[in-house]
Amino acid sequence: MAIDPKSFTQVVHAGAEPDQATGAIMPPIYMTSTFVQSEPGVHQGYDYSRADNPTRELYEKALASIESANHALAFASGLAAEQAIIQLLDPGARILVSDDVYGGTGRLFRRLFARYNLDFQFIDLSDDSVVKAAATAPTKLIWLETPSNPTMKVIDIAKLAKVAKAQGALLVVDNTFASPIFQSPLALGADIVVHSTTKYIGGHSDMIGGALMVNDAKLFEQLKFIQFAAGAVPAPLECFLLHRSIKTLAVRMQQHEKNALAVANFLQTHKQVKKVYYPGLSSHPGYDIACRQMRGFSGMVSFDHRGSYADVVAFLQKLRVFTLAESLGGVESLVNHPEKMTHASVPEELRRKLGIGPQMIRLSVGIEAADDLLADLAQAL
Ligand code: P1T
């Protein structure tokens, strides 16, 4: 598996246009809420920054380019982008959701949107028989994350696209874990791609953001209206910084993946480790699908510790290069305890079914030297 060499060029030039007024190579940051009008309703294409802002527009162009999409929209957080997608639906709609989505996604659906008479069915979308049984009732949306957070479940996007099409449902793929460098859900038949740009796209753990990408012009218009009407837009400075981050996305992802593979291989042979979850290991149940639909396995690795919860806490506290914190996808390595941190809001019964227990640890493998990461894990284990 290898990154498409064109990606290295694409990310550098995505949405990059010298400023027409001054020739500046980097785009100006339009820190303005509003724009002058020469008479009511007559302006130079911008009237109010919730609707459109030139800095956001260029960043959105870059986002569309890296997902090879016709259109992209930027949001103030990953969950704000997700919220915009759900706002496409009418009350009564039935939605099939992968059962191991990010805890906050499940919370948004269960705690907020279920109150609006939306019927979310959390099921195992990697199991053909479960999908077949669920797809008999009318469905408006199928929502999946692949690889999933935190169990790295791999779901066959092209297969689910066919199921969605047969239902007249939209297929949404959360591509946060793979990043646009390693996976292109739209090319596999998805209708909407969603990202927490807080993660790999931002890459430096200094911003919260979200994005969605689509090819269909009508769907784009509907989502653009929701973005404008509901207003969860990012600020111009954040758009500038996220746009800047995109330029190094391919080189960062290359190093994340190289390190993650080294970490997964190391953990697999360690006597204190019971099980490793990484789609790049041939022992992973989704390995064959991952090889088919991904160009790389990305930088997220989970594992089960063999010891007690007290041993897990001791391990987390002994780490020196990995930092205990929520989030992922930054240049620095992070470690997370899904049960107590990112997935604490998942109902306990479901957590147990998914295997998110006290012994599970999730690593966001950064771009440091692999030897330093392995040495840190070794001394802490
Ligand atoms: O945090 P926010 O930018 O709103 O994005 C939410 C989100 C959406 N999708 C996936 C796959 C995610 O992982 C997240 C956020 N996840 C974490 C904060 C985490 O540590 O898993």
Are residues 201 and 325 part of one domain?
no
Q: What is the pLDDT of residues 230-286, one digit of tens each?
A: 999 999 999 999 999 999 999 999 999 999 999 999 999 999 999 999 999 999 999
Whether 199 sits among the annotated catalytic residues: the reply is: yes
> 136 and 264 share a domain?
no
Q: Whose CA is nearest to atom 18 of ligand 1?
A: 327
Q: Is the pLDDT of residue 135 over 90?
A: no
Which domain-ending residue is among 246, 281, 313? Answer: 246
Annotated active-site residue 50? The verdict is: yes
Residue 105 CA: nearest ligand 1 atom is: 8
Domain range enclosing 72: 5-246
356 and 229, same domain (yes or no): no
- Of 213, 230, 246, the last residue of a domain is 246
In a shared domain, residues 210 and 61: yes
Q: Pocket around ligand 1: residues whose beta carbon is below 6 Å from it?
A: 77-79, 102, 104-105, 145, 149, 174, 176-177, 196, 198, 208, 210, 326-328, 336, 342
Tokens 């391919």, located at residue: 250
Q: Look up the CATH number of the domain holding residue 263.
A: 3.90.1150.10
Whether 174 is catalytic = yes
The verdict on pTM exceeding 0.85 is: yes
Q: Can you give the CATH number for the domain in which 62 is found?
A: 3.40.640.10
**Does the bond joining 147 to the residue before it have cis omega, within 30 degrees of 0?**
yes
Whether 211 and 230 share a structural domain? yes
Which amino acid does the sequence have at 258? Answer: K
**Cβ neighbours of 319 (radius 10 Å):** 20
pLDDT category at 210 given cuts 50, 70, 90 is very high
CA atoms within 13 A on the CB side of 1: 23
Mean model confidence pLDDT for the chain: 96
| Catalytic option among 56, 140, 199, 252 | 199
Report in angstroms the alpha-carbon separations of 124 from 22, 121, 128, 131, 301. Answer: 54, 10, 9, 7, 20
Residue 66 banded pLDDT, cuts 50, 70, 90: very high
Q: What is the mean pLDDT of residues 116-143?
A: 94
* Band of residue 136 on the pLDDT scale cut at 50, 70, 90: confident
In this model, does residue 305 exceed pLDDT 90?
yes
Of 4, 46, 50, 52, which one is the catalytic site residue? 50
pLDDT tens readout for residues 326-357: 999 999 999 999 999 999 999 999 999 999 99
State which of 97, 98, 102 you would mutate to test the pocket of ligand 1, scoring each by most atoms of that ligand within 8 A of its C-beta. 102
Average pLDDT over residues 65-85: 98
Q: How far apart are CA 327 and CA 198, in angstroms?
A: 8
Residue 360 has pLDDT above 90, yes or no: yes
- Ligand 1 atom with least separation from CA of 177: 11
Average pLDDT on 82-94 reads 97
Tokens of 376: 């840190």
Q: What angle (nearest 5°) sits at the alpha carbon of residue 359, between those of residues 357 and 360?
A: 70
Cα–Cα distances in angstroms (integers) from residue 117 to residues 137, 183, 252, in the given order = 16, 33, 42
Same domain assignment for residues 259 and 301? yes
Higher pLDDT, 109 or 2: 109
Give the pLDDT confidence of 306-321 residue by residue, as tens digits.
Answer: 999 999 999 999 999 9
**How far away, in angstroms, is 342 Cα from ligand 1 center?**
8
290 and 270 inside one domain: yes
257 shares a domain with 155: no
Q: What average pLDDT does range 205-216 have in this prediction?
A: 98
Predicted local confidence at residue 288, as pLDDT: 98
Shared domain for 239 and 288, answered yes or no, is: no
Are both 203 and 110 inside the same structural domain?
A: yes
Number of structural domains (the chain) is 2
Q: What is the pLDDT of residue 1?
A: 80
pLDDT at 17 over 90: no
* Mean pLDDT, residues 95-112: 95
Instruction: Let me know whether 143 and 70 are in one domain.
Output: yes
Choosing from 177, 211, 246, the residue where a domain stops is 246
Mean pLDDT of 45-53: 97
* Percent over 90 (pLDDT), the chain: 97
Same domain, yes or no, for 124 and 148? yes
> Percentage of the chain surpassing pLDDT 70?
100
- For the segment 220-226, the average pLDDT, to the nearest whole number, is 98
